[in-house]
A and B are shown apart, each in its own frame.
Chain A
Amino acid sequence: MLAPDPAARQPLLRLAGVHTHIGAYHILHGVDLQVARGELAVLLGRNGAGKTTTLRTIMGLWRASSGSIHFDGHDITRLATPAIARAGIAYVPENMAVFSDLTVRENLVLAARNGPPDTARVDWICSFFPALRTFWHRPAGNLSGGQKQMVAIARAMVEPRTLLLVDEPTKGLAPAIVHSLMAAFRELKAQGTTILLVEQNVQVVRALGDTASVMDDGHVVHAGPMAVLAGDAALQQRLLGLSLDPHL
């Protein structure tokens, strides 16, 4: 079990001065980030800004070389990845990492650590992603990119988790599938799951996100309510090099 850390109690997730090196490369340069319990936080930024590295560092897949990461009041900076996952964090990587040799059912069985997946919860997941029911006994490797993304998200949803880290889930997907994903995130959030979502498609998340943080060159250069960023075209242009307003 994790040792309680009373000093870090307020935000569910707090990164303070996190630096990450990958080999000789210094990727994160002192990331400060907070995610409050129950919110959907969106992490934005250009390619190479350090968003994926931030999520992987939280999961312990890459080690923070300095700084601290607190989750639910506990210091998880030095924990191994399995311990971080067991603390209540689910992770959906950018490449989905679906087990292609395993069926959809087996992917979900593996993600359910506490015994067989709950029938009602699986039905609930399938209400967002009906294709999972259709391809239940099919190898996940035979599915399309969108269907694989559904499996990856479903795997993270199969048991209740406190925090969900999702890395660019809508990349290259058809609008109908993106709509299903967003509906699932909205429902998860309504049930109290905290979500940290890395996304390039800001149009998709502007209505969904509570807060928006923007990264650039390994730093968080902006953090605040999504409404502030969404309502300030000049700020969007400066931070992201684009406008969130729909193109006419």
Chain B
Amino acid sequence: MSIAPVAPPADSQLPAIRRDIAPLLLVPLLMLAMLPLVGNLATWLTLSVAGLAMGMMIFIMASGLTLVFGLMNVINFGHGAFIAAGAFSATLVLLPLRGWLEMDSLTLNLGVLALAIVVAMLVTGLLGWAFERLLIQPVYGQHLKQILVTMGGMIVAEQLIHVVWGAETIAVPLPTALRGAFLLGDAAIDKYRLVAVAIGMVVFVAMYLILNRTKIGLLVRAGVEHGEMVEALGYRIRRLFVMVFAAGASLAGLGGVMWGLYKETLTAAMGGEIMVMLFIVIIIGGLGSVGGCFIGALLIALVANYAGFLAPNVALVSSIVLMVSVLLWRPAGLYATGRG
């Protein structure tokens, strides 16, 4: 819905809005700064695209986490369970339809992949709904209990995955059409990484439009800052909580599918293993900020890639160094939300 009942005066009559664009410049500046250090344009391009693709997958997984923290003030250490559950749920489609994945048909390949993503997001959305009702609701406002309960929930979820799918690592086939790379000069750009970049951009744009152009989005943004006032305006924020939690779980499920296909193997612990990185991303971005999360995810992945190439020993601590650097510059993260 939108309204335009009052024509605002020309902008020239108003004081200028101070837009905070400094964080937006970090990603292009980092990429440009690394070009002379890497020294080779093709290598730099390959590293950069790989970093952007990894960053997009991390963003998809982390966006739900930051939204849940921002709106609900819930520290969900169980978020990794949705990543693993999403990836394993996708195998319900990917493995039986393996034949279609291995056919040399882009339509069939993408159709199966899309179906797997839909199934994974539905399953994790439902799991998220149940998780919120059963585990999160009794511990609203109690951070220590939230940490214990959600970590416990993740352990239980991992064991349930073992029960359903077995304890062995599961190999998932990458669709034939997405194997291999395009050659751009001497640079090799993986097809799957381009798909990851495209899906990440779609998720980001969709989240941006929903948060900024719909009343639900307004409610979420308002709820991040003053949940109590949203209730005083007549909206049931608990319903919003459940919806956002389920949406966050769905996004984690989507991220899990993308991450699983990227690694081509699935383990029950795959979500838990990446949780530390996700927390670093949302801290860098500013807790509750989707835009900050997007920039943080890209920065983390690009820095890891460049560091892995230039100084492999430093790569292990690159995320921590990046987080410390950002927090020294902006203690509340790149984009602090109203929650503070």
Which A residues lie at the B interface, using CB under 8 A? 59, 61, 80-82, 85-86, 91, 93, 97, 99-102, 105-106, 108-111, 113, 115-119, 122-123, 126, 133-139, 141-142, 155
Contact = CB atoms under 8 A, between A and B. Distances in A.
B222 interface: yes
A118 B215 CA distance: 16
Contacts of B225: 99-101
A136 B3 CA distance: 11
Interface stretch (B96-104, B230-238, B292-300): B230-238
A116 B228 contact: no
B198 interface: no
Q: How large is the interface on B (under 10, 10 to 19, 20 to 34, 35 or more residues)?
A: 20 to 34
Given A99-B222, A109-B218, A110-B218, A85 B8 contact: no
B5 A82 contact: no
A29 B18 CA distance: 48
Contact of B2 (A116, A118, A126): A116
B14 A111 contact: no
Nearest to B9: A134
A99 B215 contact: no
Nearest to A110: B218
Given A102-B218, A139-B17, A81 B338 contact: no
Contact of B233 (A111, A118, A119, A133): A111
A97 B226 contact: yes
B6 A123 contact: yes
Contact of A126 (B1, B6, B14, B337): B6
B234 A137 contact: no
Contacts of B14: 134-135, 138
Contacts of A101: 221-222, 224-225, 337-338
Contact of B231 (A82, A136, A137, A141): A82
A149 to B, nearest CB: 14
Contact of B1 (A61, A109, A118): A109
Given A99-B225, A101-B337, A106 B218 contact: yes
